Amino acid sequence: MKTVIHTENAPAAIGPYSQALAFDKLVFTSGQLPLDPVTMAFVEGGVKEQAYQSLKNLKAVLEQAGAGTDTVLKTTCFLANMEDFAVFNEVYTEVFGTEAAPARSCVQAARLPKDALVEVEAIAFIK
């Protein structure tokens, strides 16, 4: 049976979806945008700041599910501009490291919700 995951420490869904769903020992997150969960506005700055916020939001959802960045198996990362790949990687490496980093896909999207520069989703196991 699936369990809906919701936390006030990440932005509320801006459409008909859940922040994440858990099934058995797995959690599947929705894409996390760089929104401040209180103001629901983008954080100030560029791709680096947006990457930090998206990953901070992802961490909050994972922790609510009983998982964490250390239990992420796979991420899918969306960038508005692949020219930002190196900057995004710097932030991503700070969060996930390089040893045993999750499997990952990273693609340029024609347009992200609310014109975000970054969006990240994950599949993780629950501790």
CATH of 2-125, one of 3.90.1150.10, 3.30.1330.40, 3.30.300.30, 1.20.1630.10: 3.30.1330.40
Please give the chain's pLDDT, 127 residues, in tens: 999 999 999 999 989 999 999 999 999 999 999 999 999 999 999 999 999 999 999 999 999 999 999 999 999 999 999 999 999 999 999 999 999 999 999 999 999 999 999 999 999 999 9
- C-alpha to C-alpha distance for 22 and 41, rounded to whole angstroms: 27
Concerning whether 106 is annotated as a catalytic residue, the answer is yes
Q: What pLDDT score does 14 carry?
A: 86
Domains in the chain: boundaries: 2-125
Q: What pLDDT score does 46 carry?
A: 97
Q: Which of 43, 87, 106, 126 is catalytic?
A: 106
Q: What pLDDT score does 70 carry?
A: 97
For residue 76, with 0-12 CB atoms within 10 Å meaning exposed, 13-18 middle and 19 or more buried, which class applies? Answer: middle
